Amino acid sequence: MSDKPKIFIDGEHGTTGLQIRDRLARRPDIELLSIPEEERRSPEYRADLLNKSEIAILCLPDDGSREAVVMLARAGNKTTRVIDTSTAHRTKSDWTFGFAEMTRGQRANIAGARFVSNPGCYSTGAIALLRPLVEAGMLAPDAPISINAVSGYTGGGKSLIAQMEDPSREDHIAANHFLYALKLSHKHVPEIMSRSGLSRRPIFTPNVGRFRQGMLVNIPLHLDTLSSGPSMDDVHAALAAHYSHQEFVEVVSLDESAEMPRIDAEEMAGKDSMRLYVLGEREGASVNLVASLDNLGKGASGAAVQNMDIMLGR
C-alpha cells in the first residue's frame, strides 16, 4: 500500500483543476486520485474519493464546493482536509485564508488548518499590496482606495475562453480589451476588504485582455493622504520588510523599477510567483503600486499547490 498522501481534485476538468492536475501529475511524492471518465457523473464515486483523500482540492462553482463539504460531513469524515478554490468560503471565519504571505503566522495557520480557502486572483494582488501598509499603520482602513486590474481571459473559465477563442459562437467576444463588473460589485471585493483590513469599500475596476494568462493589479495612492505622509522609499520599505525571505513574492527594487519602460501583463505567465512594484517619481507626491502575477498561477492553481504543500509540511 502506498504511503504517499492521496490528493483528489474535485472538478479536475475545469480550467483551474486542469492546471493543478498538470502540476501534480509530475509529482512522484503524492498519489493523485481521479474519477474515471465513465464515472464522472457518479455522486457515489465522487463521495468515495472525497473520503479517501488526505487533501481534497475543490475546483468547482460555489454551490459545488459547499456540496462537497456537506458530503464529507454527512459521511462523518473528520480527517479529509480541504482546499477550496471557489468564492464560497473566502470570508468565512472558520476557514483559513490560503495566502501564506498575507501576515505573520499565516503559513503556520494554513499548516494546521483543515479547511483552507484559496484566494481569488485579483484579490491576491490587491491584498498583497494593501495588507502590509494597513498593518504598518501607513494606510488607514477607511482610506478611499481605487483598484484597477487587467487579467488574461482564462480567469473567466471555459465559458469565457470559448467566447474569446471561437468566432463561430453567437456570444463571441471580438474585443481585444474590455471592462466588466460595471456596477462595482465584483465577487472579489468582500475578500479584498476582509483580508486587507479595509473598512471602506474600494472602487474595483476589473478588465480582461486578449491574452491567455497574466495579470496586473495597480493601486494609485496620494502620499499626503497616508498616515505620517510617507515617502516613496517608506512605502517600498514597508512592502520589502513584509515580504523579506519569501519564496513566492518578490518586491522589485526601486532602482530596477525606475529603469523599466513598461510592465507586461504577461510577464509572470506560467509562473507561480508574484512581483510587486512601487512606481513613480522618487520625490513625487504619489505612487502607483503594482502586483504582477499569473491569474492561473499565484492567482489560482499555483497557490492551491503551494497551500497543499504547506498542509503536508513540505
| 28/6 Cα distance (integer angstroms) | 12
**pLDDT, tens digit, for every residue of 250-264?**
999 999 999 999 999
How many structural domains comprise the chain? 2
For the chain, percent of residues with pLDDT exceeding 90 = 93
Average pLDDT, the chain: 95
Kindly list the catalytic residues: 121
Look up the pTM and report it.
0.95
Whether residue 270 is contained in a domain is answered as yes
Residue 1 lies in a domain: no
Please write the tens of the pLDDT for every residue from 16-26.
999 999 999 98
Q: 144 with 246, same domain?
A: yes
Q: Report the phi/psi class of residue 214: left, alpha or beta, with left for phi > 0 and alpha for psi in -120 to 50.
A: left
pLDDT in tens, 30-56: 999 998 878 878 889 999 999 999 999
Query: Do residues 155 and 277 share a domain?
Result: yes
CATH number at residue 24: 3.40.50.720
Residue 89 shares a structural domain with residue 150: no
115 and 170 housed in the same domain: no
2: pLDDT confidence band, cut at 50, 70 and 90? low
Q: In what order do the strands lie in the sheet with 146-152?
A: 177-179, 203-209, 146-152, 215-222, 286-293, 274-279, 249-251
Q: Looking at the structure, tell me whether residues 175 and 151 fall in a common domain.
A: yes
In a domain, 80, yes or no: yes
Residues 24 and 148 in one domain: no
Percent over 70 (pLDDT), the chain:
99
Domain range holding 227? 121-296
What number is the average pLDDT over the span 265-275?
97
Q: Are residues 99 and 214 in the same domain?
A: no
Do 132 and 211 fall within a single domain? yes
Residue 231: burial class (beta carbons within 10 Å; 0-12, 13-18, 19+):
middle
Q: The domain spanning residue 181 has which CATH number? A: 3.30.360.10
Residue 3 is predicted with a pLDDT of 86
pLDDT, mean of residues 216-245:
95
Whose CA is closest to 188, among 143, 116, 124? 124
Task: Note whether residue 233 is domain-resident.
Answer: yes
**Residue 1 confidence (pLDDT) above 60:** no
List, in order, residues 6 or more apart from 300 with CB less than 8 Å away: 16, 19, 85, 118, 121, 155
Q: In this structure, are strands 115-117 and 81-84 parallel, antiparallel, or unpaired?
A: parallel
- Report the C-alpha gap between 117 and 133 in whole angstroms: 23
CA distances from 85 to 57, 59, 204, 207, 277 (A): 7, 6, 21, 21, 26
Q: What is the pLDDT of residues 70-128, one digit of tens each?
A: 999 999 999 999 999 999 999 999 999 999 999 999 999 999 999 999 999 999 999 99
Q: Are residues 286 and 159 in the same domain?
A: yes
C-alpha 292/C-alpha 70 separation (Å) is 36
| Distance of alpha carbon 103 from alpha carbon 196, whole angstroms | 10
Residue 271: per-residue pLDDT: 97
Residues 60 and 162 in one domain: no
40 and 179 housed in the same domain? no
